[in-house]
Amino acid sequence: MSLAPIPNMGWGAVARKPIKAHTPLFHIPLDYLLTPWTSSLKAHLSDAEWESLDGGWARLILCMMWEESRESKWGGYLRNMPRTFDSPMFWGDADQAELRGTDIETRIGKADAEADYHAKLAPLLAARTDLFPAGSEHFSLDAYHVQGSRILSRSFTIPISRAGGPITEPEEDEDGDEDEEEEVAVMVPMADMLNAAYERDNARLFAEGEEEEEDVEVEEKHDFGEGFTMISTKDIAEGEQIYNTYASPPNSELLRKYGHVDILPLPEEVTSLLSAEELGNWAFGNAGDEVEIPGTLVVEAATARGITDAEARVDFWLDQGGDDTFGLTYSADGNLEPPLVPFIRLLTNADDWERAQKKGKLPKSAVDGAVLDVLEAVVRARAAKYPQTIEADLAVVAADGPLNARNAAVVRLGEKRILAATLRVVERERERLRSEEGKRKAGGKEDRAAKRRK
């Protein structure tokens, strides 16, 4: 493999020859990982100073600032990373306004990051100018944003013990099960050069021994020792890009984290859910797109139907481990799958609510008229948050104008199409219920007529 510039994706990894599935590509020893515990910064701080950085990414960010400012083994690695990004964190106000209504709007995080910098880093930087020279560009607010964006787009999450952090005895929960070990974000040189894209993943980072646990037959056996090994998961052709996408992220996440979106031909199972107006002349996008539905929207729609004890029902739902946010995706069966349907039934169906209280179980995913009414109200309320129309979004992507405006339009369009498709399936479900009701009534009339004849 080699590293090469990829159009609209920065740099990435490319196969220089055909690679078979289950081939080790490279290995990173644990002490090559850049973590708060492998960095030398901890040795220069008091326990109190170190603990003041606890929580979030502040500790890792300061370690990255520190290592980049010095001639350390990570210095060159960090100095060769990008300093500019196309992610919304670095957009101006006008461009960020194009994300109104999308799932990204409240998740850009710039204000939260700046508050974290002033609350955690600024006091320590001012107190320890022997370590952090006043006025140094390495420890500025801008540098904080850059390092945070590097973590967002390139970090891996691993168990804290593998990151060199403190190992604690696992505690048991109420059911007697041991809590999973805490996981932390770390930087893994070389592994972070592989790009991400929807359903293109052909390599994955394995911890030592993990491939054996998951029955991955590695082509060549190597005793790499402790660390992480990138292993191909599919055959990769010569010249093909190597992706480490252990997921299928929607465009909203791709744009928020990496500053790009996937624009691929949509499969027939997606286009069949859309109208000619929603497709326009642009049958492209990301089949893995989704729209988040806040639970508050569902509660508002249920309350509008006269539900007066919604708070108690919501508390029960959360106590049973239910989510407070629900995802809608492209789905031929109508996006009407758990857990959204049971939540609506719990809020709207008196029998389900009574049964849930008695048996301590959540309702099943059976769709009825009340569920469809609430779902339609929820989808329309969610769609109303976008200032632009689908037609306007299609015009922006067709014009191929400024990158930020076009990427924002691609995200909006994907979300709006999902909402439109969901409304269409809601109507289809209504037709199905009406048809079944008609058959039941017809069957009842036939039974009564048979009895009269008898």
pLDDT at position 333 over 70: no
Residues 66-116 have pLDDT tens digits of 999 998 999 989 988 988 899 999 999 999 999 999 999 999 989 999 999
Question: What SS3 state is found at 290?
Answer: strand
One domain for residues 155 and 280: no
Strands (E), 121-222: 156-159, 183-186, 203-207
- Mean pLDDT for 443-448 is 67
Q: Are 330 and 287 in contact (CB under 8 A)?
A: yes
One domain for residues 57 and 124: yes
pLDDT of residue 336: 63
One domain for residues 272 and 402: yes
- Mean pLDDT for 104-130 is 94
Give domain status of residue 187, yes or no. Answer: yes
One domain for residues 304 and 187: no
One domain for residues 368 and 424: yes
Average pLDDT, the chain: 89
pTM value is: 0.84
**Which residue type occupies 2?**
S
Q: How many domains does the chain have?
A: 2
First and final C-alpha spacing in the chain:
83
pLDDT of residue 442: 77
pLDDT at position 144 over 90: yes
Question: Per-residue confidence at 295, pLDDT binned at 50, 70, 90?
Answer: very high
One domain for residues 215 and 295: no
pLDDT at position 394 over 70: yes
Nearest partner of 330 among 391, 373, 266, judged by Cα: 266
| CATH number, domain containing residue 34 | 3.90.1410.10
One domain for residues 306 and 408: yes
One domain for residues 289 and 148: no
Question: Per-residue confidence at 445, pLDDT binned at 50, 70, 90?
Answer: low
> What are the helix (H) ranges across 135-245?
141-154, 210-213
pLDDT of residue 438: 84
> Considering only 236-250, 328-342, 407-421, 424-438, which range has the smallest mean pLDDT?
328-342
What domain range is 397 assigned to?
Answer: 263-438
Give domain status of residue 444, yes or no. Answer: no
Please state the separation of Cα 82 from the chain's center in Å: 22
Residues 181-233 have pLDDT tens digits of 889 999 999 999 998 877 888 999 998 877 666 666 776 666 777 899 999 99
| 447 or 101, greater pLDDT | 101
> Considering only 69-78, 117-126, 136-145, which range has the smallest mean pLDDT?
69-78
Residues 306-326 have pLDDT tens digits of 888 999 999 999 999 999 999
> Considering only 207-211, 258-262, 430-434, 449-453, which range has the smallest mean pLDDT?
449-453
Nearest partner of 15 among 30, 32, 2, judged by Cα: 2
Give domain status of residue 256, yes or no. Answer: no
pLDDT of residue 400: 80
pLDDT of residue 29: 93
Query: Tokens 């390139």 sit at which residue?
Result: 154
- Rounded to whole angstroms, the Cα distance separating 140 from 125 reads 10
Distances (CA, A) of 447 to 89, 343, 442, 451: 67, 37, 9, 6
pLDDT of residue 4: 94
Structure tokens at 31: 């002490």
One domain for residues 110 and 202: yes
Residues above pLDDT 70, as percent of the chain: 91
One domain for residues 213 and 275: no
The conformational region for residue 93 under phi > 0 = left, psi -120 to 50 = alpha, else beta, is alpha
Give domain status of residue 286, yes or no. Answer: yes
Give domain status of residue 86, yes or no. Answer: yes
| 441 or 270, greater pLDDT | 270
Q: Are 385 and 100 in contact (CB under 8 A)?
A: yes
What share of residues in the chain are helix, strand, coil (percent, to 5)?
A: 45, 15, 40
Residues 395-425 have pLDDT tens digits of 999 998 899 999 999 999 999 999 999 998 8
pLDDT of residue 167: 77
Residues 349-383 have pLDDT tens digits of 999 999 999 998 899 888 899 999 999 999 999 99
Give domain status of residue 451, yes or no. Answer: no
pLDDT of residue 410: 97
Please state the separation of Cα 214 from the chain's center in Å: 24
One domain for residues 238 and 299: no
